[in-house]
Amino acid sequence: MEHIVIAGKRGLRGEVNINGAKNAAVAIIPAAVASASVCVIDNLPHIEDIVSLVDAMTKLGCKCRFINRNTLEIDSTGVTSVTADFDSIKKLRASYYLVGALLGRFGEAQVLLPGGCNFGTRPIDQHMKGFEALGAAVAIDHGMIKAKAAKLTGAHIYLDVASVGATINIMIASVYAEGTTVIENAAKEPHVVDCANFLNILGARVKGAGTDTIRIKGVTELHGGEYTIIPDQIECGTFMLTAAATAGEITVRNIIPKHMDSVSAKLSEMGCKLTEGSDFITVRGSDSLRAVNVKTMAYPGFPTDLQPQMTTLLCSANGTSIITETVFDNRYQYITELRRLGCQVTVDGRIAVIEGHNRLTGASVTATDLRAGAALVIGGLCAEGVTDIGNVKYIDRGYERIELNMQRLGADIKRVSE
Ligand code: UD1
């Protein structure tokens, strides 16, 4: 078992190149199954979720080859199975995109129910409703999602919640559906747009991604293509919040600043100085940041995936901050771990109240999920003394060796094996 050990140090300084977006990559890789051809996907992050997905794709009959560390060639011509029941995808949330891709191409899919981080109940009813509207019979049976259709036909689908997963999944499945599919109340996250752009490169006809209404005109064939994944909004935000929390100065490069607007706005409100260019942002923190209130929302609101890192930052702000988590019903499980570092946070349902200006001290803590792990890294950097973080496997699911980038910024952080 691996641990991350941090000797707290303020004032991280330097530049970080942000990797390709995890949540775009885990949608685009399964979407390649829909094409029955060769796709080359570039700017992939080298993280555990990608390794697990590539394993699943290979077992389905795709030929997957890493051309280099961040570029993957997928030849899905010879897919031989519509059943994905592999151990490798048990911990993945994004395994559900294989349902959309296999159902769209073969009219049938059987995929293990998704895993992923535990933020309370994470239903997939909107995915199923969408597939059913396209004409599929969908059931959950023995822990698997089973979907089957003699033919998929375009439909008008109104999502009850603007779910990222349901929007992308229905979009992928409906690429071959006869006629036009309309998804209303669609999610607008950057990775929804990225997946739509990828499908369009292959010959799909998807319009409106990034707005509330997405229209997909069915086609009879997708060809292969090359695609470069967008930068990771959440990795970028993690380093921006690290700059603020450690009162340092960090430039995040290879990013799309527009995707960061909600984060930049909060950091400015707290008193950080930000400089923005076409593909970079520099964040300069200070020792006297103001407390703020934050409400997580679907894009373009403040991302729920940065909520734990923001909570940690607010522990060192002057005054009391309130975070309201509106996306998930149980995303504060990590607070118990944060308290071990001396953070004063109380939670009531979806609301966390953070008493700022705490003196954090190092402790032995455990990552309870991916972004909670990132929050503990930030906490450890801010704390006096040594912090030891267990369950690093969660952090590795979404960050490519987070400790190496932190080291380049001057952090005293290392990975150790037990
Ligand atoms: C994706 C991201 C995750 C992020 C989340 C919100 C991936 C692989 N994961 O997760 O990192 O935190 O978006 O930005 O991209 N819901 C339903 N029924 C459904 C689907 C969702 O009620 O069928 C609810 C969920 O319980 C949640 C809300 O909708 O309250 C948003 O979930 P959703 O956008 O679907 O999140 P994921 O796709 O699971």
Q: Average pLDDT, stretch 341-359?
A: 94
Tokens encoding 244: 């603020």
pLDDT at 90: 82
Shortest-distance Cα residue to atom 3 of ligand 1: 305
80 CA → ligand 1 middle, Å: 30
**pLDDT tens-place string over residues 186-229:** 999 999 999 999 999 999 999 999 999 999 999 999 999 999 99
At 43, the pLDDT band (50, 70, 90 cuts) reads: very high
What is the reported pLDDT for 226? 98
Q: Give strand pairing partners of 262.
A: none
- Closest by CA position to 126, among listed 171, 95, 190: 171
Q: How confident is the model at residue 357 (pLDDT cuts 50, 70, 90)?
A: confident
pLDDT band at 18 (very low <50, low <70, confident <90, very high): very high
Helices (H), ranges, 246-324: 261-270, 307-314
Ligand 1 atom closest to residue 328's alpha carbon, by position in its atom list:
30
Average confidence (pLDDT) over 123-151? 95
Contact between 399 and 406 (Cβ < 8 Å): no
pLDDT for 89: 84
Tokens (6 digits) for 19:
């990797």
Q: Rounded to an integer, what distance in angstroms lies between the CA atom of residue 159 and that of residue 236?
A: 29
Check pLDDT > 70 for residue 367: yes
Q: Is the four-CA dihedral 214, 219, 222, 223 of positive or negative sign?
A: negative
Q: Read off the pLDDT of residues 232-281 as tens digits, 9 standing for 90 and up.
A: 999 999 999 999 999 999 999 999 999 999 999 999 999 999 999 999 99
Q: How far is the CA of 45 from the centre of ligand 1 (A)?
A: 21
Query: Exposed (0-12), middle (13-18) or buried (19+): which is 216, by Cβ within 10 Å?
Result: buried
Q: Report which of 226, 100, 246, 113 is spatially closest to residue 174, judged by C-alpha positions.
A: 100
**Ligand 1 neighbourhood includes 137 CB (under 6 angstroms):** no
Dist. CA 280–CA 283, nearest whole Å: 10
pLDDT at site 116: 67
Bridge partners, residue 214, by sequence:
183
Active site residues: 117
pLDDT at 19: 96
pLDDT tens per residue, range 102-125: 999 999 999 998 876 776 678 899
- Pairing between strand 293-296 and 38-42? unpaired
Give the least confident one: 204-208, 263-267, 357-361, 387-391.
357-361
> In angstroms, rounded to a whole number, what is the distance separating the alpha carbons of residues 367 and 391?
5
Best mutation site among 95, 129, 327 for ligand 1 pocket (most ligand atoms within 8 Å of CB): 327
**Percent of the chain, pLDDT > 90?**
90
319 touches ligand 1 (CB under 6 Å) = no
pLDDT at 358: 75
**Test site for ligand 1: of 145, 161, 234, 331, most ligand atoms within 8 A of the Cβ:** 161
**Tokens 């952080």, residue?**
413
For residues 219 and 174, what is the distance between their CA atoms, to the nearest angstrom? 9
